[in-house]
Structure 1
């Protein structure tokens, strides 16, 4: 292990810059925080260990399976990298995946300007749990390599193909690829989500937390669906709604034998 004691160390400065999207895009790397990430098979570029936990047997056993650069830093330096109040003392640097739009599966998720990192991370985790492999995200949404997104995904970010697309190109792509466009919307002509009709290829769209799906996208939708509200709440959180609807889609797919 390499011990770093100065904030002017080049490796330390490089990792710190990865807290900004601009530098993550430039370097094609991102960071994840938490001991749990040592349990995944994704190979790190660098593992940063807080000096206070470096000698813990549990940590050493997990570190030993990775043949990568490992650095130890003191608490003062670590505090400049962590995004958590009660950090577990582990930060990992990964290479970003190269996304692909060429081999999208028959059932995909589309996110239109989802802005909250916790929501995006949870949706990625739900998508993975429900057996979805691809998420299209309109540009202007939160970066999926944002630290909170990565943490909220609980490792599922390694299992999903995530591709960002211009909003103006989204409908054109979906129509060209002959997707059945299903939008979640609080509209008078929306039908209960249990009544949605699935075709051979389906794209389910979830919108911005406050404003929903852009009108230009809704206009081109083949179906609009809604989760009925039986109490007094105005609506459901988008991550919660995604869990309900994605599992309903999965159940319908299973029933038809696909």
Structure 2
């Protein structure tokens, strides 16, 4: 099948997925570029449509994966269609429409010895995507996005994950509900604070399930979330920087937890 006009009704629907209201309504999102599409296919994400630049042809990296995705529609489109559905100034030659997964927090709540990252109002899409990527690299069991955090399916967030969003469970949840449930099940909720007594290097990440609560870049965690936290630890710094951004702080904690757990 081919679609050449950017005014085509289907193209307008795809382009609409660049906006959150249309992603929420349709339960779908858009990913751009060979690498992200390849990661989605390899992870068996629910890819609905794969569109590629008719002038450049189907990328070789994707050809071998097409047969393994039953029900996926492949469509050749014109460069103007590609441009209309892209969030960047230099559009990639391929994009895909993907159905949102139905993730819930039960797996993270029930898994013994889990390591989970909880984001409380982390608004920068780049930081959210980087944290997901670090969580993937460190072998975490999941990421929970509290209300007020950047949308997982924002194109900037997606690009920052570099495909890691397909490798581990990511759940959007109300922290006022899920954190008390976690505590009731014996999860230790840990956050960072300049007033923390223990350093992240003396804290024991090996005991039981631990959720690392990361707050917004400007305000930290909310008072409501802070009331649920069991322990605050500090990331030691020798220089004159006042603090680290959310992604850097989360990455340090994740890799120290990985080192201690011997993963």
Do they fold alike, i.e. is TM over 0.5?
yes
Q: How many angstroms apart in 1 are the aligned matches of 2:174 and 2:61?
A: 44
Give how far 1:54 is off: 2.1
- Indicate the residue corresponding to 1:66 in structure 2: 66
Q: Can you list the C-alpha shifts for 1:89-125, whole angstroms capped at 9, x where unaligned?
A: 2111112111021121322111101111111111111
CA contact (8 A) 2:6 2:84 kept: no
- Indicate the residue corresponding to 1:45 in structure 2: 48
2:204 is aligned, of 184, 192, 197, to 197
2:162 is aligned, of 133, 154, 171, to 154
5+ residue gaps in structure 2?
Answer: none
CA contact (8 A) 2:121 2:148 kept: yes
Q: What SS does structure 2 have at the residue aligned with 1:145?
A: coil
Q: What SS does structure 2 have at the residue aligned with 1:72?
A: strand
Alignment of 1:1-258 (within 5 A): 2-40=1-39, 41=42, 42-43=44-45, 44-54=47-57, 59-60=59-60, 62-67=62-67, 68-104=72-108, 105=111, 106-186=114-194, 188-198=195-205, 199-254=207-262
With 80-89 and 106-115 compared, the bigger mean Cα shift is at 80-89
Count residues with an aligned counterpart. 250
CA contact (8 A) 2:38 2:61 kept: no
Q: How many angstroms apart in 1 are the aligned matches of 2:37 and 2:20?
A: 23
Q: What SS does structure 2 have at the residue aligned with 1:45?
A: strand
Q: How many angstroms apart in 2 are the aligned matches of 1:82 and 1:251?
A: 39
Give how far 1:205 is off: 0.6
Give how far 1:69 is off: 1.5
**Root mean square deviation of aligned Cα:** 1.9
CA contact (8 A) 1:107 1:203 kept: yes
Q: What SS does structure 2 have at the residue aligned with 1:70?
A: strand
5+ residue gaps in structure 1?
Answer: none
